[in-house]
Amino acid sequence: MEDKQTALSHHFLKFEDWEKTVSSYFKNDPLWDSLYYRVALFLSDLVWDDCEFLQKDFRARHYVSQIMHSSGSVSANMEEAFGRGVGTPDYVRILKISLGEARETRGWYYRSRHALPADLLEHRYKVIDHLISLITNLLNSHKRNLGRK
């Protein structure tokens, strides 16, 4: 197990390489044009792979469903918000939920730190922090447009 952890932890899928694996059908959706959405989907795929590690440690098995749910909810809420109409108050409300799910995913990674390689965690934290920044900036721009602080 240690050899596999070490081998995987030194090879991280790059965002650009991941984007190439997404079907053209999915890329035709207008939401795909949004970087925040693509990063959220990327995170969800990373979490999927990382759950293989978590399943191997009986102490971390409970975390699998939690981190899968929170990471998947980030992009799912973006999809719902987009469907409600970009820039509407409902859009902003649902994006706030998406932001909360991204933060929750970061928390589950922290709680899983004993079962995951340190360099893998650092990579995931960077992806999540980037995503949180993208969502926060998006929310701030829409709040200004809606005349809210």
List, for residues 96-112, the tens digit of each pLDDT value. 999 999 999 999 999 99
pLDDT at 146: 64
pLDDT at 130: 98
pLDDT at 2: 47
List, for residues 1-35, the tens digit of each pLDDT value. 444 444 444 468 899 999 999 999 999 999 999 99
Q: Is the pLDDT of residue 47 over 80?
A: yes
pTM exceeds 0.85:
yes
In the predicted model, what is the mean pLDDT of residues 113-138?
A: 96
% the chain with pLDDT above 90: 84
Burial class (CB in 10 A: 0-12, 13-18, 19+), 43: buried
List, for residues 50-70, the tens digit of each pLDDT value. 999 899 999 999 999 999 999
Fold of the CATH domain 37-145: de novo design (two linked rop proteins) (1.20.1440)
Asked if 20 contacts 13 with a C-beta cutoff of 8 angstroms, the reply is no
Q: Vertex 138, ends 105 and 34: CA angle to 5°?
A: 80
pLDDT at 143: 77
pLDDT at 87: 86
CA dist list (Å): 90 to 31, 58, 93 = 17, 40, 5
* Domain range list for the chain: 37-145
